[in-house]
């Protein structure tokens, strides 16, 4: 496996397994080694200088680049069909680095108002301190977003599907408008994964992943990955190599290992979540089900046109005045109650202790997130067991 490969022609299952991992490793190891070394040695000063100037491949210092991390960056680059990729210590590090590497005082960011909780904190608390204006629009009001882009916008920030209400934004339509206005388009692709959605092919400039979620898939490593063209990625990488939000080699290894099964897992997440969503929809104790794969969902048509599958995350609310979410959560047998998503196990949690823990209840209400909502990241278990677990739990309430 040492030949040049035209990855465009290779299917995502194969890319997940082989992407980035086709070069030879020391002693013929078939698996990417975890290189924990921070420093590197050279034949002589001449070689050292060449590597440091980028005239010869190699590494200088762990904050800048690392061999294990590079393999992971290459894998996501291939899966997103991007020119370049870089990495971060977490998804939030990736998001803040993209924003701070590209914005300056006086600029305006346009975004939907229900972005991930941490992201919305950056928008509401930190960017304004640097005299950067953030226009938070109703997430699915595409006409309003268009208007705000055309008023003044240097960066359009999209997240689709959103967390936890699974709203859908039309990436191609909004990217076209932003491009005409000269704005940079950033898409958080965490919930969709590159298996279900390819924002760059729809016109986005930069795609970001919290690799902590589906890419890693096993809830045991934090990371952030960013893809785009060479210039954009270089600017973001340069900011990161200086501020130091670098991905640790051990975390990179775990994410790399998780990503080998990404295509396989996502297929299962997609079918399990769709089945559970349809089942919940018909249950008398369930009020609303939020899942873009349901034909009754307002985002269904756009989702169908830009996604290959609808993902593993859904949310729902229960009927009645009383908040029964706490007892529902404690009665499930096959679900972790945790502030996380995208793992092989089913995970449940209310937004107030998960995605929007950083927000006050007033802020959550403004974001349209009901207090009696439960988010469910459907795992890869047999769906019959999950449904049976949900059925028994709902009956007992």
Ligand X SMILES: *Cc1c(COP(=O)(O)O)cnc(C)c1O
Catalytic residue status for 44: no
Interaction between residue 246 and ligand X (CB under 6 A): no
Would you say how long the chain is, in residues?
Answer: 397
Least separation in angstroms between residue 222's CB and ligand X is 5
Catalytic residue status for 213: yes
The pair of structure tokens assigned to 11 is 């299917």
Closer residue to ligand X, CB minimum distance, 67 or 117: 117
Catalytic residue among 113, 114, 148, 188: 188
The pair of structure tokens assigned to 109 is 């960011």
Which residue's C-beta sits nearest to ligand X? 91
H helices present in the chain, as ranges: 12-18, 45-53, 67-79, 91-102, 117-121, 142-151, 171-180, 193-196, 230-243, 249-259, 262-281, 300-306, 325-331, 361-366, 383-396
Closer residue to ligand X, CB minimum distance, 226 or 318: 226
Catalytic residue status for 63: yes
CB neighbour class for 164 (10 Å; exposed up to 12, middle 13-18, buried from 19): buried
Interaction between residue 292 and ligand X (CB under 6 A): no
**Ordered strands of the 224-228 beta sheet:** 84-88, 224-228, 206-210, 184-188, 155-159, 108-112, 133-137
Catalytic residue status for 23: no
Q: Choose which of 86, 210, 306, 377 interacts with ligand X (CB under 6 A).
A: 210
Give me the residues paired with residue 374 across strands.
316
What is the per-residue DSSP string for 267-293? Answer: HHHHHHHHHHHHHHHT-TTEEEEE-TT
Q: Choose which of 212, 232, 246, 315 interacts with ligand X (CB under 6 A).
A: 212
Catalytic residue among 40, 42, 50, 63: 63
**Can you tell me which residue has the tokens 């290992």?**
257
Interaction between residue 237 and ligand X (CB under 6 A): no
Please tell me the distance from the alpha carbon of residue 198 to that of residue 307, in angstroms, as a whole number: 8
Closer residue to ligand X, CB minimum distance, 213 or 268: 213
Closer residue to ligand X, CB minimum distance, 313 or 318: 313
CA quadruple 176, 179, 181, 183: dihedral, nearest 10: 130
Catalytic residue among 213, 240, 268, 375: 213
Least separation in angstroms between residue 34's CB and ligand X is 20
Catalytic residue among 75, 77, 116, 268: 116
Please list every residue from 76 through 135 that binds ligand X, using CB under 6 A. 90-92, 116, 118
Interaction between residue 157 and ligand X (CB under 6 A): no
Distance between start and end Cα atoms, the chain = 56
Closer residue to ligand X, CB minimum distance, 165 or 210: 210
Please tell me the distance from the alpha carbon of residue 345 to that of residue 188, in angstroms, as a whole number: 23
The pair of structure tokens assigned to 243 is 């501020």
Site string for ligand X, 177-206 (x = CB under 6 A): -----------x-xx---------------
Q: Choose which of 222, 225, 255, 376 interacts with ligand X (CB under 6 A).
A: 222
C-alpha 205, offset from chain centre: 15
Least separation in angstroms between residue 190's CB and ligand X is 4
Closer residue to ligand X, CB minimum distance, 91 or 370: 91
Closer residue to ligand X, CB minimum distance, 191 or 206: 191
- Contact residues: ligand X, CB under 6 A: 90-92, 116, 118, 159, 163, 188, 190-191, 210, 212-213, 222, 224
User: Active-site positions?
Assistant: 63, 116, 188, 213
């Amino acid at each position: 496996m040492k030949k040049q490969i035209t990855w465009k022609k290779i299917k995502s299952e194969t890319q997940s397994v082989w992407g980035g991992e086709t070069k030879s490793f020391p002693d013929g190891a078939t698996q990417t080694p975890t290189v924990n070394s921070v420093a590197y040695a050279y034949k002589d000063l001449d070689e050292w200088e060449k590597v440091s100037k980028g005239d010869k491949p190699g590494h200088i210092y762990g904050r800048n680049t690392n061999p294990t991390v590079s393999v992971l960056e290459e894998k996501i680059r291939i899966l997103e069909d991007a020119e370049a990729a870089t990495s971060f210590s977490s998804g939030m590090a990736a998001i803040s680095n993209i924003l701070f590497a590209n914005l300056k005082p006086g600029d305006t960011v346009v975004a939907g108002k229900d972005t991930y909780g941490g992201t919305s904190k950056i928008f509401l608390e930190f960017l304004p301190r640097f005299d950067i204006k953030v226009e938070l629009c109703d997430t699915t009001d595409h006409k309003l977003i268009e208007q705000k882009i055309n008023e003044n916008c240097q960066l359009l920030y999209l997240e689709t599907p959103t967390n936890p209400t699974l709203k859908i934004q039309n990436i191609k339509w909004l990217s076209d408008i932003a491009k005409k206005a000269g704005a940079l388009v950033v898409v958080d692709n965490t919930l969709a994964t590159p298996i279900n959605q390819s924002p760059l092919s729809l016109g986005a400039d930069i795609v970001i992943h919290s690799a902590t979620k589906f890419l890693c898939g096993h809830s045991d490593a934090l990371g952030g990955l960013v893809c785009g063209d060479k210039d954009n990625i270089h600017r973001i990488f340069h900011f990161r190599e200086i501020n130091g939000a670098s991905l640790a080699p051990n975390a990179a290894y775990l994410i790399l290992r998780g990503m080998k099964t990404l295509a396989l897992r996502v297929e299962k997440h997609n079918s399990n979540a769709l089945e559970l969503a349809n089942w919940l929809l018909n249950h008398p104790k369930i009020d609303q089900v939020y899942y873009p794969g349901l034909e009754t969902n307002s985002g269904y048509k756009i989702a169908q046109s830009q996604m290959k599958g609808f993902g593993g995350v859904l949310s729902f609310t229960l009927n009645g005045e009383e908040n029964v979410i706490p007892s529902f959560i404690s009665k499930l047998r096959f679900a972790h109650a945790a502030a996380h998503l995208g793992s092989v196990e089913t995970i449940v949690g209310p937004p107030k202790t998960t995605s929007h823990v950083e927000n006050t209840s007033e802020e959550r209400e403004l974001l349209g997130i009901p207090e009696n909502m439960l988010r469910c990241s459907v795992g890869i278990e047999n769906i019959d067991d999950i449904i049976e677990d949900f059925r028994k739990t709902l009956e007992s309430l």
